[in-house]
Amino acid sequence: MGRLKRVYTFLSRLLGIDAAYFIKGGFWTFVGQGGRALLSGLLLIVLTQTLPQEAVGQYKFFMSVLLSLMIFSLPAMHNSVVQSVARGHDRSFLAGVKYRVIASTLGSLALVGVAAYFWHNGDGSAKYFLIGALFFPFYLSFQTTYSYLLAKREFKKSGLYLIGQLLVTNGAIFAALLLTDSLLVIISTAVISQSVSLAVVFLIVRAKYQKDIASSTEDPGLLKYTLQLTSYGFLPAITAHIDNIILLYFLGADNLALYVVAMTLPKQNLLVVDPLARVLLPKLSAVRDAPKLFKAIRKKLPLVTGLSLLVNGLGVIITPLVITLLFPPSYAPSIGYAQLGFLVFLFIYPQRVLYDFLIAQKRTKGLFKLGLYPSLLKTGLLFILVPLWGIVGAIAARALARYGEFAMTYFYASRYAQEKKDL
């Protein structure tokens, strides 16, 4: 233990961070998110190996519509609960789940509307969206459990619970794929298994921390702040998966399947970014001196940016081998698209750190603009470039929007720090 402590001390001095906190916390959040990425990738591989390319595209289209409506489940509750519980308001955990379930009924109504549209047009996809509507209030709401565990700095428990829940969910889907090629059965299994497994984790954690919850209060500003963040993030959430929807409309389900496979590897950047951000937010939320905090962050930006460039460069190199080994020959065109896809994520690491700084400082106006303008830019570019350049156009639209978001995030973070310094 003494040697390990000396290693932590050395890294802390070298990097200027609390190395023990980030390694211990980051490891378990990485394990959880890594398990999610691994199982998600394995699921995509099995889908491409067992279903026709068109069916894979249809499955991903359904999931894109479902996740585009996640804004109605108040995803911003994650940040609100993390900050509230970190400040001693444990009861905000149960309140957060309750608010998310209630709000999610609006998403169910939206899915019924989508089903009605497909039914009116004689499309058999209507039944998929009716299944989604039935379980939507529970599909994402119980994810607040992981927010609570992160706020309590129970990173190990969060990671282990997440892996267990994902094993149940993906195991059920794998079993369905082995038994049938019916998209209705596969989609129903995916939605139901996710909802039930998350509910079980919620019940376990609620029972375990019953005393902490009972002896605390709900943050009176929980819902208000969540609704603020949600309203600011409405357009980004709706447009987060719009590239898949636009691609299916202009290019068809077969090309959507190629695009999904291509972007799978570049998206693994989130495997590093998300765990670090989840560990970082409680730490940033506890610091009140914004100018001092931003100065410390700015000193680390070259290091973080270098890490971002390194990871994406390695991704470009290994892409041909990975796709050739894991996917059927019909997905070979995805190799070039995947290598281009890494351009989208070149600066995601420093951008996420700066974004979490703004969240921790509750800069709602800046967050609103960051949600609005890049989403409008991305959507507009997708409608222009996809018909012109196909999949390459979709990648170019996402990359340009991401670079614009990075520049705006740095601008708002530095301006806020300067304003606080001048006071």
Per-residue pLDDT of the chain in tens (423 residues, 90 and over written 9): 556 556 445 545 544 445 455 555 556 566 666 777 788 889 999 999 999 999 999 999 999 999 999 999 999 899 899 889 988 899 999 999 999 999 999 999 999 999 999 999 998 899 999 999 999 999 999 999 999 998 888 888 888 898 899 999 999 999 999 999 899 999 999 999 999 999 999 999 999 999 999 999 898 989 998 998 888 778 888 898 999 999 999 999 999 999 999 999 999 887 777 666 655 655 666 666 788 888 888 888 898 899 899 999 999 999 999 999 999 999 999 999 999 999 999 999 899 889 888 888 878 788 888 888 999 999 999 999 999 999 999 999 999 999 999 999 999 999 988 887 765
pLDDT at res. 333:
96
User: Which residue is it, tokens 């708002």?
Assistant: 412
Query: Is residue 171 located within the same domain as residue 239?
Result: no
Residues 6+ away with beta carbon under 8 Å from 363: 412, 416
The pLDDT value given to residue 15 = 46
Neighbours of 272 (CB within 10 A): 20
Please indicate, yes or no, if residue 88 is contained in any of the structural domains: yes
Examine the domain organization and report whether 95 and 58 are in the same domain: yes
Q: Is the four-CA dihedral 277, 278, 279, 281 of positive or negative sign?
A: positive
Closest Cα partner for 129 from 58, 179, 233? 58
* 7 domain-assigned: no
State the Cα–Cα distance between residues 117 and 353, nearest whole angstrom. Answer: 41
**Is 40 inside a domain boundary?**
yes
The reported pLDDT for the residue numbered 11 is 47
Residues 284 and 354 both lie in one domain: yes
The tally of domains found in the chain comes to: 2
User: Within a domain: residue 193?
Assistant: yes
User: What is the per-residue pLDDT for 33?
Assistant: 65
Domain endpoint, select from 152, 185, 220: 220
- Separation between Cα atoms, residue 240 and residue 262, nearest integer Å: 17
Asked if residue 244 and residue 208 are part of one domain, the reply reads no
User: Quick one: 414 and 383 in the same domain?
Assistant: yes
- With respect to residue 227, please indicate whether it lies within any of the assigned structural domains: no
pLDDT given for residue 277 in this prediction: 61
Domain boundary among 187, 220, 253: 220
Nearest by Cα to 402 from 368, 378, 366: 378
pLDDT at 14 (0 to 100): 47
Residues 284 and 191 reside in one and the same domain: no
Does one domain contain both 303 and 361? yes
Examine residue 1 and state whether it is found in any structural domain, yes or no: no
CA distance 229 to 74: 9
Q: Is 327 left (phi over 0), alpha (psi -120 to 50) or beta?
A: beta
245 & 181 share domain: no
Range of the domain at 62: 17-220
Same domain, 216 and 247: no
Q: Is residue 10 part of a domain?
A: no
Q: Are 54 and 251 in contact (CB under 8 A)?
A: no
Residue 26 lies in a domain: yes
**305 and 414 both lie in a single domain:** yes
Residues 248 and 394 in one domain: yes
Q: Which domain-ending residue is among 167, 196, 220?
A: 220
Q: How far apart are CA 31 and CA 159, in angstroms?
A: 6
Verify that 149 and 249 share a domain, yes or no: no
